[in-house]
Structure 1
Amino acid sequence: MASPFKTRNDRTDMPELPEVETTRKGITPKANQQVIKAFIVRNASLRWPIDLTLKQKLPGLVIQSINRRGKYLLLKTELGTLLIHLGMSGNLRVLPENTPALKHDHVDIVLENGYLVRLNDPRRFGSVLWHSANEGSVEQHKLLAKLAPEPLSDEFNGQYFYEKTRNRKVAIKSLVMNSAVAVGAGNIYANESLFMSKIHPQTMASKLTEKQCELLVNNIKKVLEAAIEQGGTTLKDFMSPDGKPGYFVQKLNVYDQAGKPCPVCGTPIERIILNQRASYFCPKCQKT
């Protein structure tokens, strides 16, 4: 039987990693170390069907930790871990327990402290999955096992990335967005980090020097750290846990800036489609 986790193309790059990390930080104060009172499912038909037996399994369990792996939020309990992905339009909010549900409010994790964690997902590309403790570490889950090292970790470094680019006859932007090679550099941040590194998005990955790989990795870290610090990029579909839009104070240099002057040289920013994604670059600063 084919794995259910390969039935749909993984095109869920919004919200991006900084928004997910902002969400993790937002729900942690009210949800971490709290007892689950109820698990309410209004619509189980997300990217993959929600296991409805969780309505019996989860009540009484303590949320022992709230972590993130890539774009997945991991809510660990004694019996297993909930893996939550926000898809393309989802958000988690912490609300008072008696807050009426609105359209697209599909799942509530009700806590005994009088709050609930609510998943709202208009497009239903998000997911709520369960990894039992009997199956081993959650890192062994099919959706996590092949992920690259976390982008802000020491394991993600120039030498690692240089080795991954050898003999890779693919555009560097595509490789940066390959979660088996680099986690977290979605379309916005891939565009920005390549601009900061003066690397054209269509440059063949195998042509990058070790020095270029070191620079690119450092800039991926910088742009993600800045976004996390400032709350995430403003996306019309993203809402932070307190119900206010996410934001990214730092001015985006090239993303969605087609026709506008490059902030470095003044040359108009250009836009191309690369692997069905919009790519933005300065033709003067980022030569092929």
Structure 2
Amino acid sequence: MPELPEVRVVVDNLNTHILNKKIKQLTIFKHKLFKKFPSNKFQEEIVGKKFLKVENKGKVIIATLSNGLYLYSHLRMEGKYKYFNHINEITTTRNLIAIFEFEDQTVLAYYDSRMFGEFYLYYENNPEYIKPYAHFADEPDKVDFEKVYKKLSNSTQAIKTKIMSQDVVAGIGNIYADEILFELKIHPETPSMNLKKEQVKQILEVATKIMNKSYEHGGTTIHSFESFNDKSGHYQDYLMIHNSQIKFCKVCNTKVEKIFVNNRGTYFCPNCQKLEK
């Protein structure tokens, strides 16, 4: 699943390729991914308009339309955008969900092999008003520290599970949760309420640092992530723990262990990340 760095890379590419072009046609092949309104409502509101700006809050992509509407897009597990110079260049597969055709003949296509992605249209550029995203917190460098600390200190959930909760902090997924906790030598199953205030502060700082570095390297591609036009990221070359190819801890050479925390495959070093009793 694309996490915060990967979504930021997608947003950059969208801003580079699709701004200020009039949308000539929107063809929707898989209607169930277009939520709240019938798909013809999306077509009525989008065709003839322009994308003025694309941004994100956590994993949610928000595109500003020239009619004052906002198109919300969540990639979920396998969503991908691809840009083509002409409709004839499009790769037509069963994963093709929608095509945005522009007046200059260029095309933006959305593919999703798992079909978990989703689109919403709203008049508000604020996910707090959007029902599926109303509970989302801010990103690690913007989130209210005291609110995060309060949520963690009142929870017995494993710290890995908690920092992946989008209502605590936005954008952290499975890969980066492992990387953050490894750097701080925190066992992923540590009850959240056991963390000291300074440790919570460090989690947010390290999360910001790691995800900024990943963003600079185009994100992480382990299984299938491709940011735009089949382009893979390179941060997997810098991962310290979350990779099945890493057999021994890069710090102490202890054998890396894999467990499941809330059904998520989790890599950690049993020596560096001891579970405090």
- TM-score normalized by the length of structure 1: 0.87
Deviation, 1:193, is 0.2
Change (3 A) 1:24 1:259: closer
Between Structure 1 and Structure 2, how many residues are aligned? Answer: 270
Instruction: Please show how residues 24-63 of structure 1 align to structure 2 within 5 Å.
Output: 24-46=11-33, 48=35, 51-63=39-51
Which of 63, 85, 104 is equivalent to 1:96?
85
Deviation, 1:250, is 4.3
Which of 196, 199, 213 is equivalent to 2:183?
196
Deviations 1:177-220 (A, max 9, x none): 11000111100000000001110001010110011111111111
Q: Match for residue 130 of structure 1?
A: 121
The SS at the match of 2:137 is: coil
Change (3 A) 1:150 1:185: same
The SS at the match of 2:175 is: helix
**Does structure 1 conserve the Cα–Cα contact (< 8 Å) formed by 2:218 and 2:232?**
no
Query: Structure 2: how far apart are the matches of 1:111 and 1:279?
Result: 43
Task: Give the unaligned 5+ runs of structure 2.
Answer: none
Q: Match for residue 5 of structure 1?
A: none
Which of 263, 272, 275 is equivalent to 2:262?
275
Task: Give the unaligned 5+ runs of structure 1.
Answer: 1-13
Change (3 A) 1:58 1:30: same
- TM-score normalized by the length of structure 2: 0.91
**Greater helix share, 1 or 2?**
2
**Does structure 1 conserve the Cα–Cα contact (< 8 Å) formed by 2:222 and 2:236?**
no
Deviation, 1:89, is 1.1
Which of 143, 148, 151 is equivalent to 2:132?
143
The SS at the match of 1:23 is: helix
Query: Structure 1: how far apart are the matches of 2:246 and 2:219?
Result: 24
- Are positions 1:286 and 2:273 aligned together? yes
Deviation, 1:280, is 1.0
Q: Match for residue 166 of structure 1?
A: 153
Deviations 1:20-49 (A, max 9, x none): 111111111121222222111122133858
Q: Match for residue 4 of structure 1?
A: none
**Does structure 2 conserve the Cα–Cα contact (< 8 Å) formed by 1:258 and 1:280?**
no
Deviation, 1:52, is 2.5
Identity %: 29
**Does structure 1 conserve the Cα–Cα contact (< 8 Å) formed by 2:83 and 2:106?**
yes
Deviation, 1:100, is 3.0
Deviations 1:88-130 (A, max 9, x none): 1110112113223410121011222332211011111111221
The SS at the match of 1:53 is: helix
Query: Structure 2: how far apart are the matches of 1:23 and 1:101?
Result: 19
Alpha-carbon RMSD across the aligned residues, in angstroms, is 1.9
